[in-house]
Structure 1
């Protein structure tokens, strides 16, 4: 079935500081930065200081850099597909080999592309990778299915990725010949390659290659696990090209050490171009997502290893099998066992073949992926805190991202949150009016990743893992007091039994707490405006840790409430709870963000590098946080929390009985 998302044709009512944001947040924030710096200068003009001028220059430079970074986040947007021309040349040629991939079940293989331009070869010539192979405009249709050659460009879609012709052939201009290596993944359709001149700004197609295809293009792929609604439930989601009317999606599963296997039917969803909100998601960025299947594995034994394999049963009774894998089931709430959680945000995707597409994300996100994959047996659950693929309206990038993270998502629950690059679009109901999603308005992310959210379009949820309770917010929807999300968060915080689940964690993409990121400092808020409205909930319900992304670096605060550090301890927190520690872990792979050029009293640790955080609960009273860099997996920051539930609930530890069980009572 096709998921239909309600179009909310209203603008969220926000306070002045938020409603002033324009569609180009970078430009508007540059204006805000200038206003902030100007106001600072005016306040001090009776006391001139030579540093004022330096401060103004630094702040303007920082925000200008952020605006540029935001603009360059999707390299496919650099290609002016709407300007493309077709001028095939007899003296130009291009070919790819091998032309058949996946003969042994491989889902990714390299091909060699050879090309020739006998006359007028230029350094700006480039090779585009297209899928489906037929990318001529004659195949393009409007969203309602009516062809419109006048309204569509000569090419009906952007390429999946690209490289310049001289990437590995430095003598290309002189010789007119070259070759490139491309890594292709099974994306349910065939491939072809185009040789272009005119750079990406004025592309002119000169030659088209032969077709390259996989032996089983429709086969299941990109497996991803997630927690279900119940603590003893895991969902298995995957992608294929089989609709439910032609093949039944199934999951075969059982205890790893047991020969007995169960077949569980899966549900199937998809989405269409009509479900998106704007260009490029509805135009040159569109590509069929295939079908998304989810099976629910229920009544699992706690902390046990399970085997699983996805499949499709065809009408003739035969099966098309996907890969098999293994996962460990969740511990029951309160189970006193070793439990390890990874949290980070803002990952992005990169091409292992060195394609220009997303080269700016190397080596960050690939290092994050590979470092985690090499140690996956020492992690139980991963939470990617928003801004996942940075597809920004180019649907092919979601397939590329799912393939990138499959070594992680197929082994442990891979939980995600909604970020601005998944959700934001003007007049779509998002809290912010930016165009960061490229017209996706949350549809691909919320369909591809099956989270235990009561309302998938709103995408906030709670999930438990043994001794942990995670309350996961959606900062792209209104969270202020009196809203539905506020009520959800208070219920999530208040309903946990801290005797069984002592570690209460808040997770949100944008910084609702504290950050020294340059653009937050320029706004003078050090967080999202109104974000700290939630402080009274964090304090009331003794939230241990609050995690954010959005700012692409690492930062840790003191235990802080209303801008005041309630402890100067940096490495070991014990005894009664005093305030929440805030952690920005946004260095998953996207281009790094600068810190403000000054220090704040509440910022204890900063790191301008790619990395992730790991929480380890050894028992009900001992929690370790480690921050590791993606490049080497080594620990660069850590601290301990040692606390008993009576400390959390504010009871007198000298008494033998603590009447409070949850903070709601």
Structure 2
């Protein structure tokens, strides 16, 4: 069976608890056997998805078997790979008596077709009982899941998307325009992908591998500040025809120091979840949909989002990234969704985002980057200087060593730099909760005010914002700063 060697990721149903284990690893694939039953059936409808340009659609799956069991489960294959599963009795508690049930799955366009399969024997001794018809998206290769990010300069925006088109087959581009009636500008895009061999090891090289498609990035330049732009993703085919996405809109960045109200959202540790209730990473991040939905609800009042680490929790299962980019698409296609190490300006803010997975000690490459970034802030134009990283390099009540989260050298090496450059706020994720300190330096609050700080505060406020949705929340400790 082809799916054994290249199974995609799937999701763990919320009834079965969260133990931090990727659910696909629970299926004993090496033990699977054919037990096809002539009277068992699996039927999926509709068979053609995305006929109106949708990148996701609900599918109804009808299951019938003469020998039902409480541990029967239904898997999605794409293509002939495990994607995710649900237990057959999830929607019909009488399934084990009647042998019939109807389940709804939400599928996203992942550049391949899909089928469903019924298994008996539970996860430890899977037996293939029946396979459904094949269903597919009208254009599996369509350009999808745009995500915006600020460019190298304040008047630039980058847009990245995923498709099934190699650059040899179709040339990627972005078209964008400002006010109605303004001429459209076309910007070429670069293309990259990665292979199984570039992965560090299993499961990404084995059961977690899935073709990632092609990732394209275009640059939108010379944008007017605080202006509404519309864009669409495209691919120019060799026959001179074009494939276009739907149109999206965003507001460009204010110029450095522009006197305008700017709303910044900062969080970490969100993950992803499935709306159809199918099995997701051991019930690890069901709250991610709450975070996502709240952001979408308030999006008109959001200018830029910083997701500072622990994004998809893919743990070596490549298709989780398609699921994640699909989940955040309404946000990332509309406002800059910032995720990596960089220095950037946004209006009255100067941001220095560090990579906490590398050496940040004095003299290291990362330390030099942080030092240069902090020192480059023009405090006349950007009075707010913000530092951020994923792991807590400052203060948190959740761990030992005076709240240093077991990273005492980070604080020792960086706090003099924060103090010297007068960093206003340092944000961190990793701790799955919300915490905020007083303005602090060398373990001491340096301001007598408790909730409202004004004037020169002589220290940096440290905020832990890792409550994006990874559960459970970490309990506070009382012994720290």
Q: What's the TM-score, normalizing by structure 1? A: 0.68
Q: Is structure 2 residue 315 aligned with structure 1 residue 368?
A: no
- Contact 1:514/1:527 (8 A) holds in 2: no
Q: Residue by residue, what CA displacement relative to the aligned partner does 1:270-295 show, whole Å, maximum 9, x if unpaired?
A: 11111110101001111111111111
Q: Secondary structure at the match of 1:353?
A: coil
Q: Is structure 2 residue 469 aligned with structure 1 residue 550?
A: no
In structure 2, relative to structure 1, the CA distance for the partners of 1:586 and 1:103 (3 Å cut) is same
* Structure 1 residue 594: Cα displacement: 2.2
User: What residue in structure 2 maps to residue 500 of structure 1?
Assistant: 381
User: What residue in structure 2 maps to residue 531 of structure 1?
Assistant: 410
- Contact 2:271/2:285 (8 A) holds in 1: no
Distance 1:558 1:85 in 2: 61
Q: Secondary structure at the match of 1:530?
A: helix
User: What residue in structure 2 maps to residue 449 of structure 1?
Assistant: none
- Contact 2:397/2:403 (8 A) holds in 1: no
Q: Is structure 2 residue 38 aligned with structure 1 residue 90?
A: yes
* Structure 1 residue 81: Cα displacement: 3.0
User: What residue in structure 2 maps to residue 34 of structure 1?
Assistant: none
Q: Secondary structure at the match of 2:439?
A: strand
User: What residue in structure 1 maps to residue 134 of structure 2?
Assistant: 211
Q: Is structure 2 residue 464 aligned with structure 1 residue 590?
A: no
* Structure 1 residue 524: Cα displacement: 7.3
In structure 2, relative to structure 1, the CA distance for the partners of 1:489 and 1:78 (3 Å cut) is same
Distance 2:59 2:347 in 1: 46
* Structure 1 residue 358: Cα displacement: 3.9
Give the alignment's Cα RMSD to 1 decimal. 1.8
Q: Is structure 2 residue 87 aligned with structure 1 residue 164?
A: yes
In structure 2, relative to structure 1, the CA distance for the partners of 1:542 and 1:202 (3 Å cut) is farther
Q: Residue by residue, what CA displacement relative to the aligned partner does 1:29-85 show, whole Å, maximum 9, x if unpaired?
A: xxxxxxxxxxxxxxxxxxxxxxxxxxxxxxxxxxxxxxx96x515333333334433
Unaligned runs of 5+ in 2: 1-16
Q: Is structure 2 residue 28 aligned with structure 1 residue 80?
A: yes
- Contact 2:42/2:117 (8 A) holds in 1: yes
* Structure 1 residue 527: Cα displacement: 4.5
In structure 2, relative to structure 1, the CA distance for the partners of 1:523 and 1:546 (3 Å cut) is closer
Q: Is structure 2 residue 71 aligned with structure 1 residue 124?
A: yes
Q: Is structure 2 residue 32 aligned with structure 1 residue 109?
A: no
Q: What's the TM-score, normalizing by structure 2? A: 0.93
Q: Secondary structure at the match of 2:139?
A: coil
User: What residue in structure 2 maps to residue 411 of structure 1?
Assistant: 334
User: What residue in structure 2 maps to residue 142 of structure 1?
Assistant: none
Name the count of aligned residue pairs: 464
Q: Is structure 2 residue 185 aligned with structure 1 residue 237?
A: no
- Contact 1:513/1:527 (8 A) holds in 2: no
- 1:248 alignment partner, one of 167, 171, 180: 171
* Structure 1 residue 483: Cα displacement: 0.6
After superposition, residues 630-641 of structure 1 pair within 5 angstroms as: none
Distance 1:469 1:83 in 2: 55
Distance 2:32 2:410 in 1: 44
User: What residue in structure 2 maps to residue 570 of structure 1?
Assistant: 450
- Contact 1:160/1:397 (8 A) holds in 2: no
Q: Is structure 2 residue 146 aligned with structure 1 residue 223?
A: yes
Q: Residue by residue, what CA displacement relative to the aligned partner does 1:93-130 show, whole Å, maximum 9, x if unpaired?
A: 212111111111111111111112212x2211111111
In structure 2, relative to structure 1, the CA distance for the partners of 1:582 and 1:597 (3 Å cut) is closer
- Contact 1:547/1:585 (8 A) holds in 2: yes
* Structure 1 residue 360: Cα displacement: 2.1
